[in-house]
Structure 1
């Protein structure tokens, strides 16, 4: 039965350009053949350009989701007797905490109110009193639409003798990673968000001191062993058998980002679309209210509180009829907000290869359908 073609306005997987889909038809290749090294070398060169990466970082590709890469970093850098702090500004910060518990780590959480970024004064106080070895952070919290000062946070963490691990899953490729200024031990991201590729490949940027620490950690596992992944990466290889179709798409898409659109131009487009969405929501106070202050607003997606008279499920169904798959907010966060009798959220992504004209059409449809449902 034919499937309805929908434009994806969800925060991952994101909409793919026809050229990116077409790249999936390029010939497959052996993952240990010389052609694999050529493809991976091209991918690494372009990832380094997008990340604005310093020379003292390695790149590793890990088969799986961004969560797979995050867990790889956590398992390889946190020893059994280490103390881990997970800084949480939303659902995906809490994911690090769940991973730590699942791996039997000694872990504490520092939670901030949903919709707020990391308060560096509170973080400083916690670090001063905690004697932590490793700290996890979320650069861009896609459940709440918040971007945090990752440079200030990482510098504080290092000043207190700990190693920062950063989840950059929903920001990388949409704005400056700030790796060169923040110097995280590991910065983890993935393909299906701002890079506008299918899911299936985690990307790790690994500082040399992360390798020194990992060498001291026992029981890193096999597929979660950061040292093995970096060793293969230095040979322009992937440790376990990759999806070569996705690698073909990565090579084409990353080359387009770097050499056709331009990295800085791509970042500017994301920020311009953020301004468009925030202005659009502000102009419709009867139905929508911005959830995050301007200073903390994500460049890749915007969260808005919706009028209680609007049923998110009905809005999603109406937009599907218009040819769009929309996001009605992260369920875990909306459950929390609902239990507090607060307004629910929807998320409006403006990441990847969504362009201004495409976004304008989407917002027009969302305006029309939300107004009709509220009558």
Structure 2
């Protein structure tokens, strides 16, 4: 039997769409002693993490917890718990992750309609108004910061329309949570999910979610079992709640990492973290324009943590990204779908949202284009 060589990954400057650079304090937390998933000390950490997640989601919801799985597990958690076969669902689609929502909802048996916009543009509230006026929907879902395009979707008007029509509002905050205001309670967002590896500055592996009481009541009154046993919140909330009923073995070390990552965000302060992401984004735009590289998204809807820039004419997309890896140990993201070969996606998220990272990338690109 041959033994594989010891893993020796390079130290990269991670400026792609995720994962983002991890704070050394979070890496240290990953190495803390593993205890049992019902150990009193671990239960304390769980309670503290829930309280900190409420702060970062800007909610007073009782249920705010990290699901065991990446951001896509958070997406599935929301749909499988709320949707039963035949339910009408309206989804905003202007990128990869709105498209993925449609797929997940359809797998739950939902009757899905879409509100679409060109990739790289925002969804129009008037399109939601028109759709909501024609049909009664159980759930309306959209992405706050579309990772595939760099668009930060304005939520206020759409949230108001959804409330007026009595539907549940589901928001994907995978890329925005910790890097921009999400305002769950203020906007009346019923259900929201995120991930750990973007603006929270943690490795991938958990998906924070929050459900308000209105959404939880729908789960309690289901006519059919939740499609997924593993993601069934009617059971999982009894582990994270006062009953402490075993459901599955929680990923102990990842929960340590998230706990420390949340502490770091709140030590800085939410408003300060949002401001830092915005200021680093503005510095990035200035530096790119010095290289005659233009942003691909209109200024009013640019997501500060995931920056889409146009690939200059005549520049070999794949060759530049490969040389960034090989010569500079820098990762940036390629365009997806209709934007493939047209944009680069530069993540300035969490611990990676620092001016020195902008300078490192700008210096490298100056040599390559």
State if a TM-score over 0.5 links the two structures. yes
Give 1:313 deviation, angstroms.
Answer: 1.3
Q: SS at 1:290's partner residue?
A: coil
Instruction: Please name the residue that 1:244 is paired with.
Output: 252
Alignment equivalent of 2:233, drawn from 219, 226, 231: 226
Give 1:302 deviation, angstroms.
Answer: 0.7
Instruction: Please name the residue that 1:170 is paired with.
Output: 175
Provide the C-alpha distance between the structure 1 equivalents of 2:97 and 2:368, rounded to a whole number of angstroms. 28
Q: Do residues 299 (structure 1) and 297 (structure 2) align?
A: no
Provide the C-alpha distance between the structure 2 equivalents of 1:172 and 1:45, rounded to a whole number of angstroms. 15
Alignment equivalent of 1:67, drawn from 58, 72, 75: 72
Instruction: Please name the residue that 2:45 is paired with.
Output: 39
Provide the C-alpha distance between the structure 2 equivalents of 1:59 and 1:234, rounded to a whole number of angstroms. 10
Alignment equivalent of 1:272, drawn from 267, 276, 279: 279
Instruction: Map Cα deviations across residues 277-326 of structure 1 (whole Å, 9 max, x no partner).
Output: 222233333xx221111110102111011123111111112111343332
Provide the C-alpha distance between the structure 2 equivalents of 1:267 and 1:239, rounded to a whole number of angstroms. 35
Give 1:248 deviation, angstroms.
Answer: 1.3
Q: Which runs of 5+ in 1 are unaligned?
A: 339-343
Give 1:239 deviation, angstroms.
Answer: 4.0
Alignment equivalent of 1:349, drawn from 342, 347, 361: 347
The Cα RMSD (Å) is: 1.9
Q: SS at 1:289's partner residue?
A: coil
Provide the C-alpha distance between the structure 1 equivalents of 2:225 and 2:303, rounded to a whole number of angstroms. 36
Provide the C-alpha distance between the structure 2 equivalents of 1:81 and 1:346, rounded to a whole number of angstroms. 39
CA contact (8 A) 1:40 1:236 kept: no
Q: Do residues 99 (structure 1) and 104 (structure 2) align?
A: yes
Provide the C-alpha distance between the structure 2 equivalents of 1:3 and 1:56, rounded to a whole number of angstroms. 40
Q: Do residues 253 (structure 1) and 258 (structure 2) align?
A: no
Mapping of 1:1-375 within 5 angstroms? 2-53=8-59, 55-217=60-222, 218-220=224-226, 221-235=228-242, 239-259=247-267, 261-285=268-292, 288-335=293-340, 344-371=342-369
Instruction: Map Cα deviations across residues 162-196 of structure 1 (whole Å, 9 max, x no partner).
Output: 11111110010111111122121110111111101
Q: SS at 1:224's partner residue?
A: coil
Q: SS at 1:137's partner residue?
A: strand
Q: SS at 1:124's partner residue?
A: helix
**Structure 1 residues 322 and 88: CA distance shift in structure 2, 3 A:** same
Provide the C-alpha distance between the structure 1 equivalents of 2:237 and 2:122, rounded to a whole number of angstroms. 31
Provide the C-alpha distance between the structure 1 equivalents of 2:169 and 2:243, rounded to a whole number of angstroms. 26
Instruction: Map Cα deviations across residues 8-29 of structure 1 (whole Å, 9 max, x no partner).
Output: 1111111112222122111111
Instruction: Map Cα deviations across residues 144-175 of structure 1 (whole Å, 9 max, x no partner).
Output: 00011223212211211211111110010111
TM norm structure 2: 0.92
CA contact (8 A) 1:61 1:233 kept: no
